[in-house]
Amino acid sequence: MLKKFLLSLPDVLLVCIVIYITYTTTLSFVQMLVISIAIVGGLVIRICKDVFTYIRWTMKLNMLNSYKEKIK
């Protein structure tokens, strides 16, 4: 639980920094668009990494289970 919180902390900090910058300075539409794309892109990359890690883990688990069945 703590590990998941620490891994998600950079995303939370990034959102807080963007909100702070947004309300303390006036940004143009293009600057806001670039910031939004960066945030969404970072989240998409993290989600894809987690999905691929889960797929790899389940494939390894399935291979181990099939190997154990062959040994029996």
Between CA 4 and CA 20, with CA 45 as vertex, the angle to 5 degrees is 75
Please check the confidence at residue 8 and state whether its pLDDT lies above 70. no
Does the pTM surpass 0.85? The reply is no
* Cα gap 18→10, rounded to integer Å: 12
Give the total number of structural domains in the chain: 1
* pLDDT tens digits, 10-26: 666 777 777 777 777 77
DSSP track, 20-38: HHHHHS---HHHHHHHHHH
Which residues, at least 6 apart from 11, have a Cβ–Cβ distance to it below 8 Å? Answer: 42, 43, 46
Give the model confidence (pLDDT) of 52-72 as tens digits. Answer: 888 888 888 887 777 777 776
Question: Higher-confidence residue: 4 or 28?
Answer: 28
Phi/psi for 27 (5° steps) reads -110, 150
